[in-house]
C-alpha cells in the first residue's frame, strides 16, 4: 500500500514533472555557494563539538539543497534558508538519530532477540526508541498539519505527494482520518501513516543525496585530470552562456560515468538496508536461519577487484562503452547491467 501510494508522485513518469523543481533548487544552491562557498575554510575551524559544520559552510549549503528538494516533493514546503529554521534543525537531529540507531551492533537486542522480553527499566534502548519515535512523528505530523491547513484555506501550494494523497482519500470519503493505521475499509492510510510515509522518503533521500554530492566534489578535487576532462565535455555541450538541464544528459556521457563511479567508490549506505529472510537459506555452505538480520555488503561488492579492477582508483571510464557513451542497460541481465 505504501509503495502504491508513492507511485503517482515519484514513479518514473511523474518524476519527470519534478525537473523544474530540481532545477530551481540547483540554482539556489549555486547562488548560495557563490555567496558563501569561499568562506568555508574559515568556517570549518568553528565546527561544533560533535563536528557540526556552520550553516554557511558548503557542506550545509548542499544539505539545505537536498533537504528542501525532498520536503517539497513530499510535503510541498521549501527550505528557503538554514538560519532561524528550528524545524529544519530538528529534522537534522532526527536524521542523526536514525543514522546512529541503524548502525549494526549498536543494540544487543538486534543480535539476541530474547532481550526484547526484558521490561522497560532493564531495556533503556526501548525507552529511547519510543521517545525518538514520538519526537519524529510530532515533527512529521507538523509538516502534514501545515499542508492540510493551507489546503483548507485554499492557498495555492506546490503539488506534492501528501496533497495528492489527501485529495484522493477525500474523494473516497475520508477527508478527515486522524490517527494511525488504515481507514475502516482498509484502503486508505490515516494521517499519521501518511505523515510517516512522506517522512520516510525525506529521511532516506536527504542525507544520502547530500553525502553523494559531497563525495562527488571530493573526487573531482582529488582527481584533477578527471575534472579537466569533465569540464571540457560540459563546455562543449552546454557552453558558457547557460546552465545544464536534464535535456543535456544524453550528451554528457562522461558526467554520467563520473556520477556512477562516485556511487561505486563511496556508496551512501555501505551495507544497504537491513532485511530479514522469511525461510532458512543455505549460502556457500552456511545456514542463514529464518528471521536473521541480513545485510548486503555493498562496499565489498564495489571494491571487488574481479568486478572492478583497481577498485580504489576513481576511473569513470570503466562505465563507458567502447564508443565512449555511458552504459545504461539497467534492465538487462545481471552480468551486463551497470546499475
- pLDDT tens, position by position, for the chain (339 residues)? 777 788 777 777 877 888 888 999 999 999 888 887 666 555 554 555 554 555 667 888 899 999 999 999 999 988 887 777 788 888 888 888 777 777 777 777 777 778 888 888 888 888 888 888 888 888 888 999 999 999 988 886 788 999 999 999 999 999 888 888 899 998 999 999 999 899 989 888 888 999 999 999 999 999 999 999 999 999 999 999 999 999 999 999 999 999 999 999 999 988 888 888 999 999 999 999 998 888 889 999 999 999 999 999 999 999 998 766 666 555 544 445 555
pTM for the full predicted model? 0.83
The domain spans of the chain are 2-215, 224-319
Backbone angles phi, psi at 294, to 5 degrees: -120, 125
- pLDDT at residue 333 in the model: 46
pLDDT at 316: 96
Residue corresponding to grid cell 495555492: 156
Pick from 151, 118, 165, 114: which is nearest to 5 by CA? Answer: 165
Helix (H) or strand (E) holding 38: none
Amino acid at each position: 500500500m505504501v509503495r502504491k501510494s508513492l507511485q503517482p508522485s515519484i514513479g518514473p513518469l511523474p518524476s519527470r514533472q519534478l525537473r523544474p523543481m530540481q532545477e530551481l533548487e540547483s540554482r539556489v544552491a549555486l547562488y548560495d555557494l557563490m555567496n558563501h562557498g569561499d568562506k568555508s575554510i574559515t568556517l570549518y575551524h568553528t565546527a561544533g563539538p560533535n563536528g557540526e559544520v556552520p550553516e554557511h559552510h558548503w557542506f550545509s549549503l548542499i544539505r539545505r539543497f537536498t533537504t528542501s528538494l525532498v520536503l517539497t516533493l513530499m510535503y510541498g514546503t521549501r527550505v528557503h534558508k538554514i538560519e532561524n529554521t528550528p524545524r529544519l534543525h530538528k529534522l537534522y537531529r532526527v536524521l542523526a538519530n536514525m543514522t546512529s540507531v541503524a548502525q549494526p551492533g549498536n543494540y544487543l537486542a538486534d543480535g539476541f532477540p530474547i532481550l526484547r522480553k526484558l521490561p522497560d527499566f532493564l531495556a533503556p534502548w526501548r525507552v529511547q526508541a519510543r521517545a525518538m519515535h514520538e519526537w519524529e512523528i510530532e515533527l512529521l505530523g507538523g509538516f502534514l498539519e501545515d499542508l492540510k491547513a493551507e489546503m483548507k484555506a485554499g492557498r495555492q501550494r506546490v503539488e506534492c505527494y501528501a496533497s495528492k494523497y489527501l485529495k484522493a482519500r477525500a474523494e473516497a470519503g475520508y477527508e478527515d482520518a486522524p490517527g494511525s493505521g488504515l481507514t475502516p475499509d482498509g484502503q486508505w492510510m490515516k494521517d499519521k501513516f501518511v505523515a510517516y510515509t512522506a517522512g520516510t522518503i525525506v529521511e532516506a533521500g536527504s542525507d544520502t543525496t547530500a553525502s553523494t554530492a559531497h563525495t562527488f566534489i571530493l573526487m573531482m578535487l582529488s582527481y584533477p585530470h578527471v575534472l579537466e576532462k569533465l569540464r571540457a565535455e560540459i563546455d562543449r555541450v552546454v557552453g558558457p552562456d547557460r546552465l545544464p538541464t536534464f535535456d543535456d544528459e544524453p550528451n554528457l556521457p562522461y558526467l554520467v560515468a563520473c556520477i556512477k563511479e562516485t556511487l561505486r567508490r563511496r556508496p551512501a549506505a555501505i551495507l544497504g538496508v537491513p532485511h530479514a529472510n522469511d525461510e532458512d537459506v543455505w549460502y556457500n555452505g552456511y545456514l542463514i536461519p529464518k528471521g536473521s538480520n541480513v545485510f548486503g555488503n555493498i562496499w565489498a561488492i564495489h571494491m571487488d577487484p574481479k568486478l572492478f579492477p583497481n577498485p580504489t582508483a576513481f576511473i569513470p571510464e570503466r562505465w563507458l562503452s567502447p564508443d565512449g557513451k555511458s552504459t545504461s542497460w539497467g534492465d538487462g541481465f545481471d552480468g551486463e547491467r551497470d546499475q
